[in-house]
Chain A
C-alpha cells in the first residue's frame, strides 16, 4: 500500500477525511472504525481476486451443482467487440409459484479477476425467472449462470464468449 505525501500533515480535519475515504495513505489498512460504514467500496469490501473455482467454492460450498443447460437459457453475443459492455440475459425455466421458484441467479465470468459479476434475488411475483444486465469481461471467457431454486438445488449453464477488447482494466 503506497503512502501519499499529502497525508504527512495530519490535522484533525485531514485525518477525519482520510478515515471517511477508508484510509488512503496514512490511515492504512481495512478500517473497522466508524468510517467503515460509508467505505463500502474499499478493496477489503470488494469481491476477492481469485480463481473461479475459489469463487464457486466460496459461494456454494461443496453443494452439488447439476447441469442446467436444458433449463437455463443464456442470451449473449458470441463475440463481444467491447468487453466493457456485454449484454447478457439469463432465463431459467420455472413456474415461479410460491412453492417452486428460482431464488437466486448468479452471473459468474471465469476469467475476470473477480469472477462474480452479479447476484439476483428473485421472487415469485416476477412471473418468469428472467434477468438481464450489461457486464464487463476482461478477456475471452466462459460465462456461467448458476440458478439456486427454492428447494435449494443448484443448476448451472455455461457459454463461451469471445472478447476482442477487454473491459476490466483492473
Chain B
C-alpha cells in the first residue's frame, strides 16, 4: 500500500483560453468493500474515499460524494472552463482521515 494516494492527472497538451477542458484523474486507493462473515457485514472502519474536491485557482468547481461502489483506484473525468492560467487542484479525502492532493498547472499555448 505504499502507493496509496498517488495521483495522476491528465489534461490536454494544448489549452486555449476559454476552452472547455476535459480532465482525467486517477488515484491509487484500495477502496475497501464491505466484508461479510456468515452473510453478515463486518463492522469496522473501512478505508475508502468518500469525498473528492476539485478547485481551480482556489474556487471549488466540482465536489463528489463517493461510496464504496466506486472502483478500486478510482478514475474520474470532468470538464472545466479554462478562463485564466493557474492551478487545478484535486483533493481526495478518505474515511481514515487521509487527504491526498494532486495539482496540475494550467497554461495557455
Which residues of A does B touch, CB under 8 Å? 1-2, 21-24, 28, 38-47, 49, 84-87, 89, 109, 112, 114, 116-123, 125-128, 130-137, 167-170
Q: Is the CB of B67 within 8 A of A118?
A: yes
- Name the interface residues of B1-29: CB closer than 8 Å to any CB of A: 20-22, 24
Asked if residues B67 and A114 are in contact (CB atoms below 8 Å), the reply is: yes
A41-B46, A170-B36 given. 13 additional CB < 8 A pairs? A41-B44, A41-B96, A46-B34, A84-B72, A86-B71, A120-B62, A120-B63, A122-B62, A126-B80, A131-B62, A133-B71, A136-B71, A169-B33
- Decide: A134 and B75 in contact? CB cutoff 8 A: yes
Partner of A46, one of B35, B67, B97: B67
Nearest-CB distance from A45 to chain B (Å)? 8
Q: Which residues of A contact B69 (CB under 8 A)?
A: 109, 112, 114, 116-118, 135-137, 168
Given contacts A132-B77, A133-B76, contact A170 B41 (CB under 8 A): yes
Chain B residue numbers with a CB within 8 Å of A133 are: 64, 66, 70-71, 74-77
Q: Contact flags (1/0) for B65-103 with A, using CB distance below 8 Å? A: 111111111111111110100000000001111000000
Whether B95 contacts A40 by the Cβ 8 Å rule is yes
Which of B22, B70, B73 makes the CB contact (< 8 A) with A130? Answer: B22
* Cα(A49)–Cα(B67), bound, Å: 12
CA distance A89 to B77 in the complex (A): 8
Q: Is the CB of B43 within 8 A of A38?
A: no
Contact of A114 among B68, B74, B78, B83 (CB under 8 A): B68
Q: Is B42 located at the chain interface by the 8 A CB criterion?
A: yes
CA distance in complex: A96, B79 (Å): 12
Establish whether residues B80 and A120, one from each chain, have CB atoms under 8 Å apart when the complex forms: no
B45 touches A118 (CB 8 A): no
Contact of A1 among B33, B43, B48 (CB under 8 A): B43
Nearest B residue to A167 via CB reads B71
Bound-state CA distance A123–B63 (Å) is 9
Q: How far is the CB of A77 from chain B (nearest CB, A)?
A: 14
Q: Pick from B22, B24, B62, B97: contact of A38, CB below 8 A.
A: B97
- Write 19 A-B pairs (CB below 8 A) sorted by A numbering: A38-B96, A38-B97, A41-B50, A41-B95, A44-B43, A84-B71, A109-B69, A121-B62, A123-B60, A125-B56, A126-B62, A127-B81, A128-B20, A131-B62, A133-B70, A134-B75, A167-B71, A168-B33, A170-B33
Q: B61 at interface (Cβ–Cβ under 8 A)?
A: yes
Verify A126–B79 contact, CB threshold 8 A. Answer: yes
